[in-house]
Amino acid sequence: MRIMFVGDSMTIGSAGDHTWRYRMWQHLNASYGGPYRIVGPRTELYEPGAGAPVSLDYADPGFPERARAHLAGWGEGWLHMAPLAEDAVRAGKADTLLISLGLIDLGFYTNAEQTAGNVHAFLAAARAANPRVRAVLMPVIPNIRAFTDPDFAGECTRFNELLAKAVADLDRPGSPLLLASQPAGWDIDRDTYDGTHPNAAGEHRIAASFADAMHQAWDVGGPYALPRL
């Protein structure tokens, strides 16, 4: 199994973060009995002071370089990742994609329908590189803006409906798609440090949604054990 994490700022993480990618790596080490590798063209965290993804300051320095790979970017969404998907999947020989995208698209770049179009484009590109690639897709997790901007909240809801439809329509034998559940009990006060980006509790909840989807549908690993934080 060759896993590639795909996402925006919630996935790349910022300097000093563990990231949910790290939590997923820990979970796989503890529960998955087969060989696997984490792949992707990038390894860095976002550095706020530099305004660029140039940091390697993970919260756990023992997080090995080979497990830090990803295709994620601060301020990047489906719009940005769709053109990169084919090359990234081919170069990394990825066969399993864990994708958390959409919030930044809806917030700054595209409406729900346009964003769904980029989902289709991304998956077509990934399958062009590997016709047997499989993917778990996370619905948009509404952030603090959704509580104060009804139009934005509506776009988030509409996109999640379109994402579910895309997963159902594009799922096929040999290249299955899963829709992960939004993290159970997500609370922006408890699970984020700024109303959007996950803190330690949020990192675990995001990882748990991906891990439980993979376990239930594909018998990969075991159920995710959420720690008490």
Q: In sequence order, what DSSP letters do the residues of the chain get, joined into one string?
A: -EEEEEESHHHH-BTT---HHHHHHHHHHHH--S--EE--SB-PEEETTTTEEEE---S-TTS-GGG--BEE-TT--HHHHHHHHHHHHHHHT--EEEEE--HHIIIII--HHHHHHHHHHHHHHHHHH-TT-EEEEEPP---HHHHH-HHHHHHHHHHHHHHHHHHHHH-BTTB-EEEPPPPTT--HHHHBSSSSSB-HHHHHHHHHHHHHHHHHHH--S----PPP-
Q: What confidence tier does 112 reach under pLDDT thresholds 50, 70, 90?
A: very high
Residue with tokens 């062009």: 128
According to the model, what pLDDT value does residue 13 have?
Answer: 98
CA–CA separation, 68 vs 58, rounded Å? 9
Whether residue 163 has pLDDT greater than 80: yes
Amino acid at the residue 65: E
CATH superfamily of 2-218: SGNH hydrolase (3.40.50.1110)
Amino acid at the residue 42: R
Work out the average pLDDT over 45-49. 96
Work out the average pLDDT over 128-136. 98
According to the model, what pLDDT value does residue 228 have?
Answer: 81
According to the model, what pLDDT value does residue 97 have?
Answer: 99
**Neighbouring residues of 175: CB distance < 8 A, sequence distance ≥ 6:** 127, 131, 132, 133, 134
Q: To the nearest 10°, the Cα dihedral for 129, 183, 217, 88?
A: 10
pLDDT tens-digit map of 54-104: 999 999 999 999 999 999 999 999 999 999 999 999 999 999 999 999 999
Which residue ranges make up each domain of the chain?
2-218
pLDDT tens-digit map of 179-219: 999 998 999 999 999 999 999 999 999 999 999 999 999 99
Structure tokens at 32: 């998955």
Q: What confidence tier does 224 reach under pLDDT thresholds 50, 70, 90?
A: very high
According to the model, what pLDDT value does residue 64 have?
Answer: 97
